Structure formats: C-alpha cells, structure tokens
Chains A and B, each alone.
Chain A
Amino acid sequence: MLILTRKLGENIRIGDRIKIIILDVKGGQVKLGIDAPPNVAVHREEIYERIRDENRRASGISSRALKEVAQIFNKGKRREGEE
C-alpha cells in the first residue's frame, strides 16, 4: 500500500481525473473533498460492508422461507383490506 503524508489544503492525484483534497483535520476526523468523473462510484466503505453483510444474511435462506415470506406479506395485505 502506498502511504502518503499530506498537510491541510494539499491534494492527492489518482490518475489524471481523480483529485482528493484534504479540507479539514480536526481531532480524529479528516474531511476529504473528492473530485472524480461521474463514471467513478465514490462511497464510504461502511455502506459496502453493510450491504455485504446483508447479502450474506440473505443468502442463507431456504426455499421454505420463500413461502413464509409470501405468507407474511399476504397476511398483512389481507389485514389491511379488512380495515
């Protein structure tokens, strides 16, 4: 892994089209500005991790669960119809 030390206001370039700007450093927090072309998806790592976790939970499901899900959903639908 490449490790670079930067001061406030200094930048990092990744290729020709991606620029990362150190906007603020306060306590344990760093505020970054990211200039990237629209074909580059920029997300916090946590959201990927969370979706990965949810995918893993979702994958451990059985065929029987499919019918259960449908039953729960359709029961709720009927109850709403009665109101």
Chain B
Amino acid sequence: MTSAAKENGGPRSGGEVFLPDGLLGFEDLTRFIIVEDSDAHPFCRLQSQDDPEVMFIIVDPTIIYGNDYAVPLAESDRDVLDLASEDVVDTWVLVAPVEGPERFAANLKGPVVLNTRNRVAKQVVVYNPAYAFRHPIRMADTASDRARLKAQVYR
C-alpha cells in the first residue's frame, strides 16, 4: 500500500493528463487537461480533450478535508500509473452540484490520482468510511474543523 497523500505542497495544475481507464462512466474519455483559472482558486477544471463538452471541477482534497486525506493504492492502481518509489503523486477530487444550501460537494470516495512524472492518472475507489461521496466545499485545515465538518456531511 502506498499513500497518495500530497507531497511537496499539493497538486499543481497545468499540463496534460492521460487516464487510460477514463473515469467511471466515462471510460472512453482518456485525454484531459488540467486548467487553472486565477479567479476560481483553489478549484481547477479537468477538461476532456476528446469531448469538449465534458468538464469536471476538481480540488485538492487536503484543502477541504485536511492534510491526513490519504488514498491507499492497490498494486493494480500502481501498475496503471507505472508508479515508481521516487514518483510524486497528485490527488484531486471531483466537485458536483448537490441539492440544498451547500450547492456543491466533493466526492472523497473516488479521487483521481496522478503520477506527475508520466502524467498518467486513474480514478481510485476508496472505502474509508470517513470519506463521503458528498463532502462539503469548506476549508478544513484543523482537526476541530474536520470534526465539525464531519457532523455536517450528508450522503
């Protein structure tokens, strides 16, 4: 098991991303680009290069969950990413609209893990019950914040 938690200050945007397996439900779309808009920081766009209509909003999960957000990688995941021990991995989560006053939420159960060396990425399934399918879009950088947020998580 390798932890794909952020290293070296979290994911950097920019550059092409190749998802050989696509995203779940979007298996045919494999070529993406991460685009940063200065007025949308810390959120970025994961834009499909195969279908210009398909775009996802992504964010560094450690910003909304905390620095202890970690993704255990199976060997099959490491194989897809061609992950070597010295490789640095970026982790992103997808943001989706939700009903209710929160308006948007992030899926902590299905992060996208990116090998920064070869720009190969994969959406990984995480079982950790602490991670919600719909986690509020709020700053969470302390343990007390996280405890408070956890109470607000809706599924």
Give me the interface of A with B, judged by CB distance under 8 Å: 37-41, 43, 47-48, 50-61, 63, 65-70, 72-73, 76-77, 80
Contacts and interface: CB of A to CB of B under 8 A. Distances in A.
A76 to B, nearest CB: 5
Closest 6 CB pairs of A and B: A39-B75, A58-B96, A51-B110, A52-B25, A57-B96, A70-B40
B125 A68 contact: no
A12 B71 CA distance: 31
Interface string B100-125: 00011001011000000000000101
A73 B125 contact: no
B56 A54 contact: no
Interface in B19-46: 23-26, 37, 39-43, 45
Interface in B97-155: 97-98, 103-104, 107, 109-110, 123, 125, 127, 133-134, 137-139
Interface residues of B, number: 39
Scoring A38, A41, A53, A59 by chain B CB atoms within 10 A of each residue's CB, the highest score goes to: A59
Instruction: Determine the main DSSP class of A at the interface with B.
Output: helix
A41 B137 contact: no
Contacts of B103: 68-69, 72
A58 B125 contact: no
B136 to A, nearest CB: 9
